[in-house]
Structure formats: C-alpha cells, structure tokens
C-alpha cells in the first residue's frame, strides 16, 4: 500500500531529515540497470525445511518455485517485499516526501525518527536504520502493526549497509497483543 503524505502542522526537523537521508544513502539498493538473478531458496517453517528456487527479474517481478503451494505463496510475498525495498529509488521518492521529526530518548537502537503521515517511525544509529515501526490498515482487513528489528547487516563493496538478518514482530495496533514473529536471514 502506497502511503501519501498528509498535510501537517508540525514543522519538519532538518536534523531528522539529514539523519534519515544519510541512513537512506548508506543503504544498499539495486542499481537502476539491475538485471535480476536466480538463487536457491530454503524456507524453514517451525523446523520443517522446503527447498526450491527464486527468480528475481526486477524489484516488482519475483517468482518462487517450491513444492508446497502454501509456503510458495508466503515466500513469494516475503521475497517480493524484500525486492521492492531493495529496488532503486531516491530519498525524495521514499521517506523524504514526509514531514520528519526526531526524539532522542536514550533507546539502545538509537534515536526515534517519526515519519508523519505514514503511521511509521524508525530508530537510527550510526547512519543505519536499526528498527522500523509501522501501523497499517487496508480495506477489508483488520488493522495490524509491526516492528522490524535489524539484527545483522553486511557492508557491500561500495560501502553500503545491506541487512542480512531481521525479525518482524506483528501485533494488534489497538491493544499491543503479539500475533506472530518471523525471522529472516539472507
């Protein structure tokens, strides 16, 4: 779901904008001339592994081949989201279009940077996004929220940060009840 910035009476914080721009620019993304790739894929669901392959033609064209149809559908959705987030885009096309504010609250994952109009906030530390928090509602679906904690990342040959391990915590946006946890390693 594409979020559109909402009008805000809160002033944009230039320090927050600078911090997020630096983290955004230090994040690895595929180049504009990205040619795609194929890879072996292993999905582990509660200790049961299913192996197959994935073909990524572009950030919006991902195909997964697994023997279990339900797991294939799930993997296709997850890898599709990863591909979209690794696709080429500018800061201004992404979070830069929103009003940004910052709060230094002493959290171990870094400063809290709120993206007004997107129902999101990030935590940033050492020019990296270390946590993503978002509340979402789609027509016909129950509202949901999630927190993504970035646990490990690698530095690419061009000195960009590439997330390699993260955990997603899904919860109710109304009462905070945890509904699911998923961990990803690539």
Task: Determine which of 4-13, 19-28, 114-123 has the lowest per-residue pLDDT on average.
Answer: 4-13
What's the Cα-to-Cα distance from 70 to each of 48, 105, 133, 153, rounded to whole Å? 13, 42, 27, 29
What is the per-residue pLDDT for 172? 92
- Give the residue with greater pLDDT, 14 vs 137: 14
Q: Note the pLDDT of residue 184.
A: 87
CA angle 81, 84, 16 (to 5 degrees): 100
β-pairing, 61-65 with 128-136?
unpaired
pTM: 0.81
Mean residue pLDDT of the chain comes to 90
pLDDT score recorded for residue 88: 84
Q: Which of 121, 125, 128 is nearest to 153 (CA)?
A: 128
Q: Which residue has the tokens 């690698």?
A: 154
Q: Is 46 helix (H, G, I), strand (E, B) or coil?
A: coil
Residue 1 reports pLDDT greater than 50: no
Q: 133-165 pLDDT, tens per residue?
A: 999 877 787 888 999 999 999 999 999 999 999
CA atoms within 13 A on the CB side of 105: 11
CA 30 to mean position of chain CA atoms: 15
**Cβ atoms of 46 and 150 closer than 8 Å:** no
Q: What is the pLDDT of residues 26-63, one digit of tens each?
A: 999 988 898 899 999 999 888 899 999 999 998 888 99
């Amino acid at each position: 779901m594409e979020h559109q910035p909402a009008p805000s009476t809160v002033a944009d914080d230039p320090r927050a904008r600078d911090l997020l721009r630096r983290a955004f620019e230090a994040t690895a993304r595929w180049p504009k001339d990205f040619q795609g790739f194929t890879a072996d894929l292993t999905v582990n669901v509660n200790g049961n592994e299913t192996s197959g392959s994935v073909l990524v033609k572009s950030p919006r064209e991902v195909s997964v081949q697994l023997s279990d149809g339900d797991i294939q559908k799930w993997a296709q959705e997850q890898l599709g989201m990863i591909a979209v987030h690794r696709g080429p885009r500018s800061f201004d096309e992404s979070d830069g279009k929103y009003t940004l504010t910052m709060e230094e609250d002493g959290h171990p994952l870094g400063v809290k940077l709120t993206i007004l109009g997107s129902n999101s906030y990030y935590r940033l530390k050492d020019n990296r996004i270390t946590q993503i928090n978002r509340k979402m509602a789609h027509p016909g679906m129950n509202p949901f929220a999630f927190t993504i904690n970035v646990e490990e990342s690698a530095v690419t040959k061009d000195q960009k940060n590439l997330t390699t391990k993260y955990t997603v915590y899904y919860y109710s946006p109304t009462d905070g009840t945890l509904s699911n946890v998923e961990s990803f390693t690539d």
